[in-house]
Amino acid sequence: MTNQLKTLILLTLLSALLIVIGGYFGGTAGLTIALAIAIAFNIFTYWFSDKIVLKMYGAREITESDNPRLYNLVKEVAISAKLPMPRVYIIEEDSPNAFATGRDPKHSAVAFTTGILRILDERELKGVIAHELAHIKNRDILVSTIAAVIASAIVYLVEIGRFMMIFRSSDERQNHNPIADLLIILLAPIAAMIIQMAISRSREFLADETGAKFIRDPIALANALEKIEYYAYKIPLQSNPATSHMFIIPPIFEGIAKLFSTHPPTQERIKRLKQMARSLGIAY
């Protein structure tokens, strides 16, 4: 099953969950209210997310004269990917990482920590750039926003349902099973989050594959991922968990947070990239 098809199926499941929860708690009116709130909030996030996250990490925009190596590599990959040249940023941070942001290819940006520029050679850095531009090409910011809208609406509906449980009339209480109410309130947000995480993981696999095709070198990214993860454990990135899905390797979280990682295991990503290299006849 392709990653694109997986995304479609998962979005359909998320939408179905929204409709079921909406019908159970709020009917058409509750569903409409929750969707309206979620859409308004996420449209704002989608439109201004690049400015918000770049400012959050103190990213500094560069030109070709500031860092010819990085700028020209981004330009080279952008041409291969048939994308407009994105804005390029550097974050003064020892932990190696990178992310892409922006609402569409014409309003996109890629950011790299000084740590990633220090540990990767030119081939590996090109693999990382290709992965980030693949997110832009595949419009993953839009896909993640759609998933967030639906998931947020589910959470709002559950809150409406919790409020309604308190103020139901005696007749309304007879038509609702309190155990079912409680199970939905507890499990629906978790189910929505799990599906949303699964969508994010499928988009990471797709970005790996698409980026490798841009530069015809899956091993470049495979080697980069191995290095980045190794150093990410040694030099953790101080980050906001809300932005962890944006990074090429998510910042290290311990305990239960690991269960809800927005990325697939790095070793699985490397394994798939090596399989892709073998299918292309590339030695490594």
Q: Which residues are catalytic?
A: 132
Instruction: Give residue for tokens 């699985």.
Output: 268
> Taking the alpha carbons of 107, 217, 126, 207 in that order, is the dihedral positive or negative?
positive
| Distances, alpha carbon 222 to alpha carbons 41, 192, 271, in Å | 36, 31, 8
| Distances, alpha carbon 140 to alpha carbons 40, 88, 160, 196, 197, in Å | 19, 18, 30, 13, 13
Task: Give the pair of three-digit tokens for residue 164.
Answer: 């309604």
List, in order, residues 6 or more apart from 2 with CB less than 8 Å away. Answer: none
**Which one-letter DSSP state was computed for residue 255?**
G
Instruction: Give residue for tokens 């929860």.
Output: 21
Cite the DSSP H helix spans in the chain: 3-21, 27-56, 68-81, 114-119, 122-137, 140-167, 170-174, 178-215, 218-234, 266-279
> Phi/psi of residue 91, each to 5°?
-110, 125
In angstroms, how far is CA 282 from the centroid of its own chain? 29
